[in-house]
A = this chain, B = another copy of it.
């Protein structure tokens, strides 16, 4: 149970964290901090936060747990702004989609106090944003990945883990580098590819005709191209090295498939398609098994 919880950014991610902690009775007071007075007023009105802080100093006084749930590019400035008021009792965490850059930002901003910062990333989302999109069950059954630093006290890591567990999340740990490599492959690259396809089609002279015949396969494939361009610009840049590595591997794969197609090498195309189908089905079955409710194993 965290006493005073401070949340920077009470949109979908920060707001859902607040609602989940409240639903679990796992927080005393929840205080919001943000740049938009309208969003903060809305978060107060919706009961997401108990109070809106008048200043960072005010927010940080007596804080037990701080969550930074803003676009990742703002993390360093926020950490620098709270450092003068960071009490020894306070643990700070974040919800950013990239971790190596956040760790670098934390080291730059917090210096020798970086041990009080436990980097994190909840793997959950919705297509909508802002305080109105926040829901208390966003994290139930989802993964919350922590990427602890050598400087972190185990008790501080546990305090963050325990808050996410109260929200219903399952805790995983990776190094920041592992985290970024994994998400470059399974999240950041697919976003770039989906944006690239829709932009490519939209720029063709007969785009109207093309969109007219796009159907459900296209809809699912491009759903992530409906995501925030600013947020994904920041993620792409923040995880540039890992994303470039994944993009280069994918370009090599496409170049190989192009050659197979040009040579009418149906056997090679089918091998790639069949391997993908098998892997996709195994993954999908494993996910369904993991998310199924526990079964009574007695007859």
Contacts and interface: CB of A to CB of B under 8 A. Distances in A.
Copies in the complex: 2
A-B pairs with the 5 shortest C-beta distances?
A229-B273, A202-B279, A198-B276, A229-B274, A186-B214
A165 interface: no
Interface residues of A, number: 90
Contacts of A230: 270
Interface in A88-133: 123-125
Contact of A214 (B194, B217, B253, B283): B283
Interface stretch (A36-44, A150-158, A242-250): A242-250
A269 B236 contact: yes
Contacts of A210: 182, 185-186
Interface string A221-258: 11111111110111011001001100111110111011
A261 B247 contact: yes
B273 A195 contact: yes
25 contacts: A125-B217, A178-B209, A182-B209, A185-B204, A186-B210, A186-B211, A186-B215, A187-B214, A187-B217, A189-B197, A192-B261, A194-B221, A200-B250, A200-B253, A202-B276, A211-B282, A214-B283, A220-B220, A220-B223, A226-B280, A234-B266, A237-B269, A247-B254, A247-B257, A251-B251
A87 interface: no
A144 to B, nearest CB: 12
Q: Point out which of A194, A204, A243 has the most chain B C-beta atoms below 10 A from its C-beta.
A: A194
Given A196-B257, A229-B270, A224 B213 contact: no
B270 A198 contact: no
B250 A207 contact: no
Contacts of A220: 220-221, 223-224
A58 interface: no
Contacts of A219: 284, 287
A262 interface: yes
A129 B196 CA distance: 31
Contact of A279 (B199, B213, B215, B282): B199
Nearest to A272: B199
A196 B277 contact: no
A275 B199 contact: yes
Nearest to A251: B254
